Amino acid sequence: MRRRRTKVTWMTLLILLAGILITYFDPQRQLVNAARVEEIGSQQATPGYCTHVADGDTAVLRQGTHSVRVRLGGIDAPEKDQSYGDQSKAELERLIGGKQVYLVETDQDKYGRTVGVLFIRDGHSYRNVNLAMLEAGAAWHYVQYSLGSAYAEAEQRAQAARRGLWAEPSPTAPWDYRHQR
């Protein structure tokens, strides 16, 4: 009886360990966990290639045979004709232009664009492009459509380091710029 109990215990431990290892080494799990910036949840990431960067917060991805226009969620980049608009677009292009990206959809905006979080493979992990834009000072944290405190913290670090648009004496938020026009 004791031998059978030991065997069952070892089998249970092996199954548990196998489950943990499979979960740990599954790249899809890593991507979804990287996507969780508090409220995103567990949507599946969809691979695609960036074919066009429209501005600092909008890109076109080719996914199979169709294209998807994606608005980066949780951030708002300067408009094209606004101060730092060209640099913001250039930063997004540097990050994802012509590269394979992974999209976690979070919403759809009033213009029909897919809203989401983009990731690029960075070695064995994934890098959140939306956060990278904030870290570089190439976009504002769009508090109205916030995806979590990590976004606010990334913007604060860029401000403190006076990176990107935060090096300007008094940068104008894109939502204020659009309202003034």
**Residue of 71, 91, 135, 155 with catalytic role:** 71
Q: What does the DSSP assignment read for the chain? A: -HHHHHHHHHHHHHHHHHHHHHHHH-HHHHHHHHH-SSS--SPPPEEEEEEEEEETTEEEEEETTEEEEEEETTEEPPPTTSTTHHHHHHHHHHHHTTSEEEEEEEEE-TTSPEEEEEEEEETTEEEEHHHHHHHTTSSEE-GGG---HHHHHHHHHHHHHT-GGGGSSSPPPHHHHHHH-
> Looking at residue 167, what is its pLDDT?
97
Q: Reply yes or no on whether 69 is catalytic.
A: no
> Looking at residue 1, what is its pLDDT?
57
114-131 average pLDDT score:
89
Q: Reply yes or no on whether 79 is catalytic.
A: yes
**Residue of 79, 91, 135, 155 with catalytic role:** 79
**Residue of 36, 113, 121, 163 with catalytic role:** 113
Q: What pTM did the predictor assign?
A: 0.76
81-93 average pLDDT score:
97
Q: What is the CATH number of domain 30-180?
A: 2.40.50.90
> Looking at residue 45, what is its pLDDT?
83
